[in-house]
Amino acid sequence: MNNFVTGGNYGDTNGDVVARILPGGDHNGEFREYLDRVARLAHAITDDRGRPIPVIFRPFHENSGSWFWWGAAHASPSQYIELWRYTVEYLRDTRKVHNFLYAYSPGGSYGGVSDVYLRTYPGDDFVDVLGYDNYDGSDASPQWVNGVVADLAMLARIADEKGKVSAATEYGISGALKANGRNGNLNWYTQVFDAIKADPDARRTTYAMTWANFGADQFFVPHPATGDLPEHEMLADFRAFYDDPYSVFAGELSRVYDRRTRAVSQQPLAHIVSPTDRERVTTPTTTIRVKVSNARASRVWYTVGDKAKQYPLRYDPASGYHTGTWQIGAASLDNTVTQLKVIATIPGRARLELTNSVILGARPPMPPGVVDDFEGHPDDTALRSEYSTYGTNTISLADANGGKALRFDYDFTFQTYTGIGKRLAGDWSDYGGLSLWLTPDGSDHKLVLQLNAGGVAYEAYPSLAGTTPVQLTIPFSQWRPAPWDTANADRRITPEDLRNLSQFNIFVNQADGVGVTRGSVLLDDLRAS
């Protein structure tokens, strides 16, 4: 989906898009118009007898990264969850689309850790396929393959618990296959397939989707001899994968759509649409929206904190929500967390109870040039809501450096890098570098500080040798474009770049030959200086 705020494409991450297309946002209408187009297509997809054809619909994929406007740095977990729920409810309930199976597919890896994978899970009533995307840049190294097997096994077990199916919703070699003579592992497909097939849980993965063959310059599946192109050197291995009795390709499917199933009755369901869980509310009043599905509620009300007073919510037929105005008051906007509790009574059934934690008031303003001093986060959950996560890690607040600091815990059992990031704005053109307080963990792994300025990801690499706290200043003249950005390899940070900030990331990359796989790093007072 293109950017509904700026008009740019899906890679344009400006405009705070998710917040502005949700109910109450100023671009919700444009989003609905897009979903209307999706609905028209869904209704038009029929077989020769006019029967709807089932479609796997996979919106907002790879949200664990931040390269799309719906990604982790651009939407909190609760915002993402409500965006997904809104999409399903609008298509299913308003536009009567009933031939979609909804596939949830963040990007990996997860090291087999389910709570990280489920961090943005929209809920069992809104998802049919549990998937994830994972591409390999290691030529099927044992570490990457073992991580894929652990993740797919985890997805299969979650699918069992939830009555879903699991899938590798995208997989392959990073950046596409290369021309003959340039591919590192010619048995990549069978090695990955054999490892998955050998695991009792991972082998139950329902399907695995490759990406497309766009042409001779970008293709993800080996090709036969075509025109002047010879047969690709990995085709023999792909054919061995195809010929394996355990693999099933489309041509081998039969009578799939004639199978009969018994639909499960939908149970009453309710969720708080706004404010979303862990959202900051900075105005003295805000609108509460609650969606009740599969039942008619006789009464819906809310309470705040530990107060017993009940405030009614009234049904709005135009929006389909139970709504009301929460009179917070300016005096309560003091950077504290309160509980918004909603109760809906369903005639003849037990009542539904919902709770969202809401942060009241703006985060205390930080001085110009400060990325984070970690003093304004009321708790670990509030901290995590401001940072997107790349890979598997845990961040928390630690008592250090005379106040609060960031504790970053990582594990390289199934991954080679992991990180966090947050959005950034401001004008740093008058500053000469970035300073920070750091307690390394003595691991000698590679700490990466990444500043996206002027559309380029510039990096610096403080050492993780030793365990003594240090105060560092890294001049901007020493920052370099990320190694993968070969197009900008010779570029250096300019004052103009520093007027156009968008993101600050912290990564820990596994260093070759380092036997330590787990560690903890403390960081504080990240600021321009």
What is the 3 state secondary structure string of 196-207?
HHHCCCHHHCCC
Average pLDDT of the chain, as a whole number: 94
CATH number of the domain residue 132 falls in: 3.20.20.80
Clarify whether residues 124 and 231 are in a common domain: yes
Confidence of residue 367 (pLDDT cuts 50, 70, 90): confident
**pLDDT tens, residue by residue, 483-507:** 989 899 999 999 999 999 999 999 9
Cα-atom radius of gyration of the chain, to the nearest Å?
A: 25
Q: Is residue 286 part of a domain?
A: yes
Q: Is residue 200 part of a domain?
A: yes
CATH number of the domain residue 325 falls in: 2.60.40.10
Q: Is residue 263 part of a domain?
A: no
Predicted pLDDT at 332: 96
Confidence of residue 263 (pLDDT cuts 50, 70, 90): confident
Domain containing residue 119? 105-252
Confidence of residue 429 (pLDDT cuts 50, 70, 90): very high
Predicted pLDDT at 379: 85
Predicted pLDDT at 74: 86
| Domain C-terminal end among 339, 360, 381 | 360
Q: Who's near 290: CB < 8 A, 6+ residues apart?
A: 270, 271, 272, 273, 300, 302, 313, 321, 322, 323, 342, 344, 354
Clarify whether residues 155 and 244 are in a common domain: yes
**pLDDT tens, residue by residue, 284-340:** 999 999 999 999 999 999 999 999 999 999 999 999 999 999 999 999 999 899 999
Catalytic annotation, residues: 62, 170
**pLDDT tens, residue by residue, 57-77:** 999 999 988 889 999 878 888
Can you read off the two tokens belonging to residue 355? 């709770």
Compute the distance between CA of residue 458 and CA of residue 460 in angstroms, rounded to an integer: 7
- Report CA-CA distances (Å) from 499 to 46, 430, 480: 52, 9, 17
Clarify whether residues 203 and 284 are in a common domain: no
Higher pLDDT, 181 or 393: 181
What does the pLDDT average to over 124-144?
95
What's the domain count of the chain?
A: 3
b/e burial code for range 486-518 (CB count within 10 A of at least 16 → b):
eeeeeeebeeebbebbbbbbbbbbbeeeeeeee
Higher pLDDT, 380 or 42: 42
